[in-house]
Amino acid sequence: MRWRPCSIGTVAAILNLEPLAELHRDPWLLVIEKPSGLLSQPGRGVHQQDSVITRLQLLEADLRLVHRLDRDTSGVLLLARGLESLRRCSDLFARRLVRKLYVADVVGRLLGRGSITAPLARLQRIPPRYGTDPAGRSAHTRWRSQFLQAGITRLWLVPMTGRSHQLRAHLAGIGHPIVGDPIYGDVDGSRLHLHALALSFRHPFTGKRCRVQTHQHSPFPQEMD
First-to-final CA distance of the chain: 51
Q: Which of 70, 72, 105, 181 is catalytic?
A: 70
Question: How is residue 3 annotated by DSSP?
Answer: P
Question: Can you give the C-alpha Rg of the chain in angstroms?
Answer: 18
Question: How is residue 137 annotated by DSSP?
Answer: B
Distance between alpha carbon 15 and the CA centroid of its chain, in Å? Answer: 24
Residue 35 and residue 78 in contact, taking contact as beta carbons nearer than 8 Å: no
Interatomic CA distance for residues 193 and 206, integer angstroms: 35
Dihedral angle, C-alpha 65, 218, 159, 79, nearest 10 °: 10
Q: Is 70 a catalytic residue?
A: yes
Of 143, 138, 159, 31, which Cα lies nearest the Cα of 96?
A: 159
Q: Which residues are catalytic?
A: 70
